[in-house]
Amino acid sequence: MLTIHNETDYAFLMLSKLIVEKDFIPLSAINRVLRLPERFLARVASRLVKGGILISQEGKIGGYKLAKRFLKMNLYDFLKLFEGDLEMVKCLDKTYQCPWETICIHKSYLRNKLNHVLVRELKKIPLKTVLC
């Protein structure tokens, strides 16, 4: 089910700090502003690097900065990176065993209509607009 978890929230916060910077910013400098658990923030940064949203550089002038891919990324791709499948109800999860499977009449509508509307709309929203 679609829920924004702390990791996603921290990623938004990190990106909102980096969007105004042109140079590499050390994680410690980012954390001086955000005041988040540093290990957790490092894990978020790592995931953002793997997702192509951030570039990392080691060394004295190292840190993180936004990758060019950031400008092309939409909200759906960003959320999927952290949240996995963006399903509106738990019964859309293939591993969920619904006790009302045989009598449920709304699952088809939620799967075929409503969930597609959500995904389509999230794909229309550039990630950058969420942070500006």
Instruction: Say which CATH number the domain at 71 has.
Output: 1.10.10.10
The pLDDT tens digits for 109-129 are 777 788 788 889 999 999 999
Give the structural domain span for 15.
Answer: 6-131
Quote the Cα angle for 106-112-116, to 5°. 120
pLDDT computed for residue 2 by the predictor: 60
- Asked if the structure places residue 69 within a domain, the reply is yes
- Asked if the structure places residue 17 within a domain, the reply is yes
Q: What is the mean pLDDT of the segment spanning 27-50?
A: 92
- Asked if the structure places residue 1 within a domain, the reply is no
The pLDDT tens digits for 59-111 are 888 899 999 989 899 999 999 998 877 776 677 677 878 788 778 887 777 77
What CA–CA distance (Å, rounded) separates 45 from 63?
A: 10
More confident residue, 54 or 116: 54
Quote the tokens at residue 40: 């957790």
More confident residue, 18 or 107: 18
Number of domains in the chain: 1
Quote the tokens at residue 1: 């089910």
Which H, E and C letters describe 31-76, residue by residue? Answer: HHHHCCCHHHHHHHHHHHHHCCCEEEECCCCCEEEECHHHHHCEHH
pTM of the model: 0.81
In this structure, what DSSP letter does residue 89 have? S
- Asked if the structure places residue 49 within a domain, the reply is yes
